[in-house]
Amino acid sequence: MIDKEDFGPITRSRRRATITSAKSETVKLRNGAIAAASDLKSGPKARESLTKNLQLNEDSKQKCDRYDKISCHRLQESMLSSASSFKNYRGILNWCVVMLVLSNARLFLENILRNGILVDPIQVVSLFLKDPYSWPAACLVIVSNIFILVALYTERKLAMGSISEKVGLLIYIFNLTIILCFPMVVVLKLPSITPVGGAYALGVYTILFLKLYSYKDVNRWCRERTQAKARSPSSSSASSTMQSHVSYPGNLSLRDIYYFVFAPTLCYELNFPRSESIRMGFLLRRLFEMTYFISNVLSIVFQWMVPIIRSSMKPLQEMDYSRMTERLLRLAVPNHLIWLIFFYWFFHSSMNFVAELLRFGDREFYRDWWNSETITYFWQNWNIPVHKWCLRHFYKPLLRRGAGKLLSQSAVFFASAFFHEYLVSVPLRMFRLWAFMGMMAQLPLAWFVARFLRGNYGNAAVWLSLIIGQPIAVLMYVHDYYVTHCQDDPTIAEAL
């Protein structure tokens, strides 16, 4: 209806004519909250010109007041037009959240009415464990501590100078190779590990691999710097930018390395920026989100996706294309919702929760990939920890060693494709290269989008590749898994 800021000036005094000109200056700023602020700011200006106008007689002013309202239109574009520069759509994000919560509430109510809750807690647990008395994935995670200790021990020896750089590098190569191979062998050979448990363990080991690689690099750079300083004390300007609280050999403690292992980053640093204190409200909100979204994903999987996947097996086996497309589009929506919820759950709720607990200051775990108008922008901004790691420890060192830009970029993409395949194929015990090909297909797609689509069309293309691309890969793996594991085993087919 009608708000105070819009009408206040009129009742207080009749200074419409002067206000209109002041307002037209601030009109370009008008977006939501800023508009109100700028209206208030124009107050003093309007008051100033009011004092000038006081000479005019009362009657003519009263008339003026009406005449300036004779023209009340301005040449301007609609906010939703691409020609307007308005971009504030925070409300649309809230709308998505409200719709998600509401549709979940409706589903919940419907379930109670039908008296059939399809989410089965035992089935959820069975995704992680086959035998409740053997926890192979958890054991694997516990074993990983050995590799952390090896890295710390090696660094201490290197710092003391007991072993040479070459020996240190050899130990690291050995350690890092084992980190990647050991869990792979265990997951492939141990039949009691479920695909979900295996993927979890491999994920933990992959993260550890990236972290220890960064740990190695940064400590080596620190040693090189100390040597450079010892040689030429003139270059102290470089160190002054650091403002270190902890300097090189002092960081090689158990406490420091474990802080890094648990911190939500893949890039090691001697002095992480720390936040002032732990905000309990923030922590509790993130914890609530974490539990709520897990229940949300579970209900989407069991109430929505499993029935579709089950019904799409027959068309997939018979290669009935029109029916396959229909199922694929049907699967795309819940799959995409799960991916979005997973993104929020992992990159916002969980990482912020851990960061808040550890008072880790840098919360940039993602950037505004939702606005990305090119595929490239999406890959650069949706996963900042990995992007930062790739930049710092892979791409730039390659450039420094004289590799070309195109070669380095392709190498990064190739490594990324390798890890995607590693994290999917090994737990499923199937080597089909769908994930690898999905990653490599991004290169021609990125070229196409950048070449032919701009602005909102480019953004729509990025969304479309996310919504359609993923379920194709998922459906491929599910189909192959079904064909190899379930067709001859009716009990597993039943469980799926």
Q: Site mask, a second copy, residues 13-52, x = CB under 8 A?
A: ----x--xx--------xxxx-------------------
Q: Tell me: does residue 365 bind a second copy (CB under 8 A).
A: yes
Beta carbon of residue 69, minimum distance to a second copy (angstroms, whole number): 6
Considering the candidates 348, 420, 479, 485, report the single residue annotated as catalytic.
Answer: 420
Q: Which is nearer to a second copy, 168 or 427 (CB)?
A: 168
Cα dihedral across residues 284, 286, 288, 291: positive or negative = negative
Q: Tell me: does residue 487 bind a second copy (CB under 8 A).
A: no
Measured CA angle at 98 (ends 94, 101), to 5 deg: 140
Residue 491's alpha-carbon distances to 34, 117, 195, 304, 487, in angstroms, are 62, 21, 17, 21, 10
Q: Which is nearer to a second copy, 78 or 491 (CB)?
A: 78
Q: Tell me: does residue 419 bind a second copy (CB under 8 A).
A: no
- What does the alpha-carbon distance between residue 209 and residue 151 come to, in Å, rounded to a whole number? 11
The residue within the footprint of a second copy, chosen from 135, 370, 477, 481 (CB under 8 A), is: 370
C-beta separation of 408 from 390 below 8 A: no
Q: Tell me: does residue 362 bind a second copy (CB under 8 A).
A: yes
Q: In the block, which residue shows the tokens 């448990």?
A: 197
Q: Tell me: does residue 330 bind a second copy (CB under 8 A).
A: yes
C-beta separation of 366 from 388 below 8 A: no
Q: Which is nearer to a second copy, 97 or 254 (CB)?
A: 97
Residue 324's alpha-carbon distances to 302, 303, 330, 433, 464, in angstroms, are 21, 20, 10, 21, 18
C-beta separation of 139 from 248 below 8 A: no
Q: Which is nearer to a second copy, 20 or 126 (CB)?
A: 20
Residue 144's alpha-carbon distances to 95, 165, 205, 218, 219, in angstroms, are 43, 24, 7, 21, 21
Q: Which is nearer to a second copy, 135 or 339 (CB)?
A: 339
The residue within the footprint of a second copy, chosen from 332, 338, 449, 478 (CB under 8 A), is: 332
- What does the alpha-carbon distance between residue 432 and residue 63 come to, in Å, rounded to a whole number? 81
Q: Tell me: does residue 230 bind a second copy (CB under 8 A).
A: no
3-state secondary structure of 274: strand
Measured CA angle at 457 (ends 323, 326), to 5 deg: 5
Record the tokens describing residue 53, joined without a space: 């106008």
C-beta separation of 353 from 286 below 8 A: yes
The residue within the footprint of a second copy, chosen from 44, 58, 73, 277 (CB under 8 A), is: 73
Record the tokens describing residue 193, joined without a space: 């590990």
C-beta separation of 86 from 79 below 8 A: yes
Residue count at the site for a second copy (CB under 8 A)?
Answer: 127
Record the tokens describing residue 303, joined without a space: 């109430």
The residue within the footprint of a second copy, chosen from 200, 352, 426, 435 (CB under 8 A), is: 352
Record the tokens describing residue 363, joined without a space: 């919360």
The residue within the footprint of a second copy, chosen from 228, 254, 284, 357 (CB under 8 A), is: 228
Q: Tell me: does residue 247 bind a second copy (CB under 8 A).
A: no
Q: Tell me: does residue 206 bind a second copy (CB under 8 A).
A: no
Q: Tell me: does residue 238 bind a second copy (CB under 8 A).
A: yes
Question: Residues 253 to 312: which contact a second copy by CB under 8 A?
Answer: 265, 267, 269-275
333 closest CA partner among 460, 467, 238: 467
Beta carbon of residue 54, minimum distance to a second copy (angstroms, whole number): 14
Q: Which is nearer to a second copy, 126 or 410 (CB)?
A: 410
Q: Which is nearer to a second copy, 1 or 142 (CB)?
A: 1
Residue 106's alpha-carbon distances to 101, 227, 304, in angstroms, are 9, 66, 14
Q: Tell me: does residue 250 bind a second copy (CB under 8 A).
A: no
156 closest CA partner among 256, 249, 245, 246: 249
The residue within the footprint of a second copy, chosen from 54, 120, 145, 221 (CB under 8 A), is: 221
Q: Tell me: does residue 90 bind a second copy (CB under 8 A).
A: yes
Beta carbon of residue 480, minimum distance to a second copy (angstroms, whole number): 24
The residue within the footprint of a second copy, chosen from 12, 314, 405, 454 (CB under 8 A), is: 405
Q: Which is nearer to a second copy, 15 or 129 (CB)?
A: 15
Q: Which is nearer to a second copy, 199 or 327 (CB)?
A: 327
State the angle between helix axes of 280-300 and 90-114 in degrees (0 to 180), rounded to the nearest 10.
50
Specify whether 420 is catalytic: yes
Question: Residues 115 to 154: which contact a second copy by CB under 8 A?
Answer: none
The residue within the footprint of a second copy, chosen from 54, 125, 160, 329 (CB under 8 A), is: 329
Beta carbon of residue 408, minimum distance to a second copy (angstroms, whole number): 8
Q: Which stretch binds a second copy (CB under 8 A): 123-131, 424-432, 456-464, 476-484?
A: 456-464
Q: Tell me: does residue 342 bind a second copy (CB under 8 A).
A: no
The residue within the footprint of a second copy, chosen from 185, 399, 407, 495 (CB under 8 A), is: 399
C-beta separation of 223 from 248 below 8 A: yes
How does DSSP assign 207-269, residue by residue? HHHHHHHHHHHHHHHHHHHHHHHHH-GGGGHHHHTT--SS-GGGG-SHHHHHHHHHSS-SS--
Question: Residues 157 to 196: which contact a second copy by CB under 8 A?
Answer: none
Query: So which residues are the catalytic ones?
Result: 420
